[in-house]
A and B are shown apart, each in its own frame.
Chain A
């Protein structure tokens, strides 16, 4: 039971990192990306390659993941600077679809559909460590950074951007730089999540970095509540424990288990949006992000 809980907690922590970083650009900067799994994947491949080729040092793997994902976030910053709203969503979907094709084809880097296997267990100073504490520390640091950035001048620039971009520009804020930086921070965070994911699973392939995964992370942010610090965390816990919780229900016939899980998950998303559109943590009375 403990090992099961620890495994689930690790996955939850990793997805909370994803949700928190996505929330940073969605909630504070109004950039609705449906390509977060791409950067999760980039980080995972980078981290896995470091562990496979050099040493399974989790810190180095996370660094590599963050650098690669953060650097390539420019691919997404480019359309973000040109368009917004549903146009940007479409652009990010396009990027997501192309990335899946590239991940499947770039075999030397990603192992193709077969993926990368036998990623060594992470060792820190020669001692094998579990991914759970690492993921929790990373999550805490990212939440802390989010809170600090949000309160600082940078956060105010972003929020001005989200609420009225042209006004922000007129006030002399450097919109392009702010958007690019926010994107780089969020994607680097997703990259760290990816590196931890690769070390935790010992195996990665393209199937973990698809559009469905991106939408799942997006759903976590929305269900938890955009623009709140704890919302993404709540969203991650709910969406990940929902199927696991359902797995304990004994009376569902085995052949329909999956379908029932998916239906409950889909219904929950829809009903929450109808009855609590600001998310579980979000406050309806306060102003909220609109696209």
Chain B
């Protein structure tokens, strides 16, 4: 029974990881920008929702959280990444700039919203015994449903619409896009808007389950990055699956090892993948 319990808990966590990881992977796949401030997007969305929730406005709060995430993502693209890339900024220049923004956001949240733990208080996160000794919260179903709906919608968008196909092509050949009259700038903004929006539902659900603190973005960022690599760069499906897998691994590991090692498991998986299968689960062969 312990195994089933851990598996279910892992799925819940994994669904949230999958959402943020997919957002990160979408941005990274399309623009090759290592959006290290994705965690900051997550934190902003979570705290915006929290603010509205406390004011008794959950639904407008969800919309505001998504809007805030999109605005922040677009702002990063327009005012940080694009000027850097104009100078042919290296991958690492982008990384440091984004890291600086993440530091600023974390401290601004601390100053404005207060430091320490904050959570949305809802009966949805309270688990009930569904089977003997197996506890499940209503939010489990919500997390799974939200993840499935968003992934179906996203893949429909990427395969069926003009803009979606363009987004996928952006990663492979920006010049070709230009020949077809699509603006790579506009597509890159689209990638940031969509990818950032994906972080908002996960942030809202996290505010309900584990709760937030001003440094919450850091962990989110590491997991998203690990999932993107393990899934195979450029593959949304891979990132989502890897996010789910990391969540499950972290949880199920407790069946076999002591609790203090749970966090290390994700990174062990990441490290093993990089050494033994650097192309990830779905990735194309990666050049050295």
Contact = CB atoms under 8 A, between A and B. Distances in A.
Interface in A220-240: 222-223, 226
B275 A79 contact: yes
B256 interface: no
Given A83-B278, A85-B91, A86-B233, A98 B271 contact: yes
A83 B279 CA distance: 9
A134 interface: no
Interface in B205-226: 222, 225-226
Interface residues of A, number: 50
Interface stretch (B52-60, B61-69, B93-101, B148-156): B93-101
Contacts of A26: 92
Contact of B97 (A84, A259, A270): A270
Contacts of A32: 91-92
A54 interface: no
Interface in A93-107: 93-95, 97-98, 101, 104-105
Interface string A211-254: 00001001100110010000000000000000000000000000
B79 to A, nearest CB: 8
A94 B94 CA distance: 20
Given A86-B233, A269-B100, A263 B226 contact: no
A273 B271 contact: no
Interface in A157-171: 165
A82 B97 contact: no
A86 B268 contact: no
B100 A91 contact: no
A265 B103 contact: yes
B267 A97 contact: yes
B89, B96, B106, B110, most chain A CB atoms within 10 A: B96
Nearest to A218: B96
B126 interface: no
B221 to A, nearest CB: 10
B107 A94 contact: no
Prevailing SS type, chain A contact patch:
helix
B103 A87 contact: no
B261 interface: yes
Interface residues of B, number: 47
Contacts of A78: 275
Given A97-B264, A263-B108, A291-B91, A87 B274 contact: yes
Contacts of B110: 259
A82 B274 contact: yes
B274 A91 contact: yes
Given A90-B226, A90-B274, A93-B225, A268 B288 contact: no
A289 interface: yes
A85 B274 CA distance: 12
B229 A87 contact: yes
Interface in B237-288: 260-261, 263-264, 266-268, 270-271, 274-275, 278, 286, 288
A262 B270 contact: no
Contacts of B34: 86, 89
B275 A82 contact: yes
Given A94-B267, A94-B274, A269 B96 contact: yes
A85 B94 CA distance: 13
Contact of B270 (A85, A94, A215, A258): A94
B96 A101 contact: no
Nearest to B221: A93
Interface string B151-173: 00000000000000000000000
Nearest to B88: A290
B111 interface: yes
B288 A262 contact: no
State the 5 A-B residue pairs at the shortest beta-carbon distance, nearest first: A269-B100, A266-B103, A270-B100, A291-B91, A273-B97
26 contacts: A82-B288, A83-B274, A86-B34, A86-B233, A87-B229, A87-B278, A89-B34, A95-B267, A97-B266, A97-B267, A98-B271, A101-B260, A101-B263, A222-B93, A259-B107, A259-B108, A259-B110, A266-B107, A267-B100, A269-B99, A270-B80, A270-B97, A270-B100, A273-B94, A274-B84, A284-B87
Interface of B: 28, 34, 80, 83-84, 87-104, 106-108, 110-111, 222, 225-226, 229, 233, 260-261, 263-264, 266-268, 270-271, 274-275, 278, 286, 288
Given A90-B225, A259-B107, 20 more contacts: A32-B91, A86-B91, A87-B229, A90-B226, A95-B271, A98-B264, A105-B260, A215-B99, A218-B92, A226-B92, A259-B108, A259-B111, A263-B108, A266-B101, A266-B104, A270-B97, A273-B80, A273-B84, A274-B97, A290-B90
